[in-house]
């Protein structure tokens, strides 16, 4: 009899809803295609479970992980300031921080497992939406390098869930960019980027072909075409207040559904995150004449799913 009561009590406890999550940092583990994968969710102090919150997926570069990306970008502090949820997923790889995203042609032989990262990141969003009150019309993606490449793949293949993207120091690595709806884009790139060159790069793959990084110009052209924008951009120069690196902004307007495409070019800038100077020295110069976090957030606030 006592054993039966214990079973009933255990079953009743199992049926109770989990304690709702609140502000702070949360480590989450989900299983996708038989693989356990981690992501980290930062919820700002002013999060109100009664009010739907915007979400920004933050995708790390190659040979990094989500926690490193959090430090590299400072986006957690920006999330606290503007009251959005920041999510730091992890790619796959041999272990530790040696992780990459399957963004298309890249990472090639760096990761022989051709995992479905589009599926995985969709499941990450499902997990965030199950744990928090999310404004599904305001889900955005920011990415660095290989993560920027992955942001373009998400825009192309998951445009029904992604309102806008902000790639930094990474161009398209997919063969075709064909989002089902125009996706607003704000792109940041340095002209002296040695890892993802501004003018593009072709890496020898085998006797049959090459791995290619599209140039910034070709990447932006693909976005302009997909969004139905005017070919000619309105160009302005950002006043240099913090350092000598010249920053120009090109805005391609009159797009379908106002899905503008914006390019920030840092003359002499390298494989870095504008506004942050704690990057490893070998990555080269960064600028503080613009703050990528603030610029992309203001861009995001202008664009939501219809």
> Is residue 276's pLDDT more than 70?
yes
Q: What is the pLDDT of residue 269?
A: 95
Label residue 213 by pLDDT band (50, 70, 90): confident
Residue at token pair 């070919």? 231
pLDDT of residue 18: 52
Banded pLDDT at 10 (limits 50, 70, 90): very low
What pLDDT was estimated at residue 19? 57
Cα separation, 237 vs 265, in Å, equals 10
pLDDT mean across residues, the chain: 90
Mean pLDDT throughout 84-88?
Answer: 98
Close Cβ partners of 45 (under 8 Å, ≥ 6 residues apart): 23, 80
Local confidence band at 98 (pLDDT 50, 70, 90 cut-offs): confident
Which tokens belong to 148?
């920027």
- 4: pLDDT strictly greater than 70: no
- Above 50 in pLDDT, residue 15? no
pLDDT at 278: 61
CATH code of domain 20-302: 3.40.50.1820
Examine the pLDDT at 280 and tell me if it is beyond 80.
no
Let me know: does 260 contact 251? Beta carbons within 8 Å: yes
Res 95: pLDDT: 76
Q: Which of 114, 53, 119, 112 is nearest to 89 (CA)?
A: 119
pLDDT in tens, 122-172: 999 999 999 999 999 999 999 999 999 999 999 999 999 999 999 999 999
How confident is the model over 23-56, as pLDDT tens digits?
A: 999 999 999 999 999 999 999 999 999 999 999 9
On whether the pTM is more than 0.85, the answer is yes
Residue 204 has pLDDT above 70, yes or no: no
Give residue-wise pLDDT tens across range 244-268: 999 999 999 999 999 999 999 999 9
Beta bridge partners of 234: 251
Stretch 163-187: mean pLDDT: 97
For position 34, what pLDDT does the model report? Answer: 92
Lowest model confidence (mean pLDDT) among 74-78, 276-280, 294-298? 276-280
- 76 has a pLDDT exceeding 90: yes
Q: Where in the chain are the domains?
A: 20-302
Query: Bridge-partner residues for 40, per DSSP?
Result: 27, 88
* Average of per-residue pLDDT across 59-85: 97
Contact (Cβ atoms closer than 8 angstroms) between residue 289 and residue 241: yes
pLDDT at position 21: 86
3-state SS, one letter per residue, for the chain: CHHHHHHHHHHHHHHCCCCCCCCEEEEEEEEECCEEEEEEEEECCCCCCCCCEEEEEEECCCCECHHHHHHHHCHHHHHHHHCCEEEEECCECCCCCCEECCCCCCCHHHCCCCCCHHHHHHHHHHHHHHHCCEEEEEEEEEEECHHHHHHHHHHHHCCCCCCEEEEECCCCCCCCCCCCCCCCEEEEEECCCCCCCCCCEEEEEECCEEEEECCHHHHHHHHHHHHCCCCCCEEEEECCCCCCCCEEEEEECCCHHHCCEEEEEECCCCCCCCCCCCCCHHHCCCCCCCCHHHHHHHHHHHCCCC
């Amino acid at each position: 009899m006592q054993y039966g009561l214990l079973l009933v009590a255990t079953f009743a406890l199992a049926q109770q809803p989990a304690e709702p999550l609140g502000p702070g940092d949360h480590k989450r583990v989900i299983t996708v295609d038989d693989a356990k994968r981690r992501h980290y969710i930062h919820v700002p102090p002013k999060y109100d479970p009664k009010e739907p919150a915007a979400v920004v997926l933050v995708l790390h570069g190659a040979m990094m992980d989500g926690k490193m990306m959090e430090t590299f970008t400072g986006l957690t502090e920006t999330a606290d300031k503007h009251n959005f949820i920041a999510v730091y997923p992890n790619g796959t790889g041999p272990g530790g921080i040696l992780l990459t995203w399957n963004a298309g042609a890249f990472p090639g032989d760096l990761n022989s497992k051709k995992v479905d990262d589009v599926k995985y990141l969709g499941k990450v969003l499902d997990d965030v939406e199950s744990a928090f009150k999310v404004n599904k019309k305001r889900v955005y993606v920011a990415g660095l390098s290989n993560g920027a490449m992955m942001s373009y793949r998400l825009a192309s293949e998951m445009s029904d869930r992604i309102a806008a993207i902000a790639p930094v120091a990474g161009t398209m690595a997919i063969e075709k960019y064909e989002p089902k709806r125009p996706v607003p884009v704000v792109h940041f790139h340095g002209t002296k980027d040695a890892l993802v060159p501004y003018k593009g790069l072709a890496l020898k793959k085998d006797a049959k072909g090459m791995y290619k990084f599209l140039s910034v110009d070709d990447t932006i052209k693909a976005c302009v075409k997909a969004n139905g924008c005017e070919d000619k951009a309105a160009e302005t120069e950002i006043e240099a207040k913090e350092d000598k690196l010249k920053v120009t902004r090109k805005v391609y307007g009159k797009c379908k559904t106002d899905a503008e495409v914006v390019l920030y070019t840092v003359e002499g800038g390298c494989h870095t995150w504008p506004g942050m100077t704690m990057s490893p020295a070998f990555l080269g110069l960064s600028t503080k004449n613009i703050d990528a976090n603030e610029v992309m957030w203001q861009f995001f606030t202008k664009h939501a799913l219809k």
